Amino acid sequence: MGLFRRSAANEPAQDEAAESESRPAWDSVASERERPAQGPFDRSQVDQTGPRVDLGAIWLPVLPGLELRMEIDKKTQKVTGVTAALAGSTLQVQAFAAPRTDGIWDEIRAELATSVAQQGGTVDDVPGVFGRELLVRLPATDQEGKPAVRPARFVGVDGPRWFLRGVLSGKAALDHEAARQLESVFANIVVVRDQSPRPPRDLLTLTLPKAPGQRGEAGAPAATAGLEGVTPQVPFDPLKRGPEITEIR
């Protein structure tokens, strides 16, 4: 008997169909494994940049209305991350070096959960679109100074010698429909890991988008669609100095 079955095998087929439609997208680990393969992708899997912005270690897909915000470290003036904003939601993305064999997302999730709990927040470790993810709720204050809760979704993917982490905030943190487009952006990211030896969790080098007319890899024109929305900013921190930065570096 299936996990959500309520009757014997001779129950009308339409009842089973109705139950199937009502099941969550992540009702079991088995269903998660049955999903078709998707990105993020390694550079070795992609022939050309395509409709993506070349940001060095990350080739980020662009969509109509998508605004990109480059995060700059004030002290070093280096690009530390990129945030994609769309329709009241944001996706912050960073890429890190990882060991050749073992992934690091499992241990990072555990560290994040511990840090969030120490800040008085709650964490749910759940299966999601990209595997295990964290749904975080931290205590905060609203514009009127009243107690509030600030949610965020941490997603991560272990690749060949790299780890890609995303943080969904705003509407996308709790509304799956609102998250679909930014999930698509994350799923179609290409990570470009250089061959330099790097310690695990070392931030991979990001660059500002190439200006129109510059040449990309193999002499191809650099992708520039949507660059009118690219602006530099100080590092974005959805958890207000939370573990999304401190636990990874």
DSSP strand E in 160-207: where?
162-170, 190-191
Q: Is the pLDDT of residue 102 over 80?
A: yes
Task: Return the higher-pLDDT residue of 216 and 186.
Answer: 186
> What is the DSSP code (8-state) at residue 43?
G
DSSP for residue 248: T
Q: Which residue has the higher pLDDT, 169 or 197?
A: 169
Q: How far apart are CA 138 and CA 122, in angstroms?
A: 7
82-91, 162-171, 233-242 — which is least confidently predicted? 233-242
Residues in the chain: 249
Q: Are strands 79-86 and 67-72 parallel, antiparallel or unpaired?
A: antiparallel
| Mean pLDDT of the region 125-137 | 96
69, two tokens = 């915000």
User: What per-residue confidence (pLDDT) applies to 210?
Assistant: 67
At 209, is the pLDDT very low, low, confident or very high (cuts 50, 70, 90)?
confident
Domain ranges of the chain: 41-246
Q: Tell me the pLDDT band of 37, cut-offs 50, 70 and 90.
A: low
pLDDT in tens, 137-157: 998 888 888 888 899 999 999
| Mean pLDDT value across residues 212-228 | 42
Average pLDDT estimate for 169-198? 94
User: Which residues have C-beta within 8 Å of that of residue 128, sequence separation ≥ 6?
Assistant: 26, 153, 155
Instruction: Over range 120-141, report the average pLDDT.
Output: 94
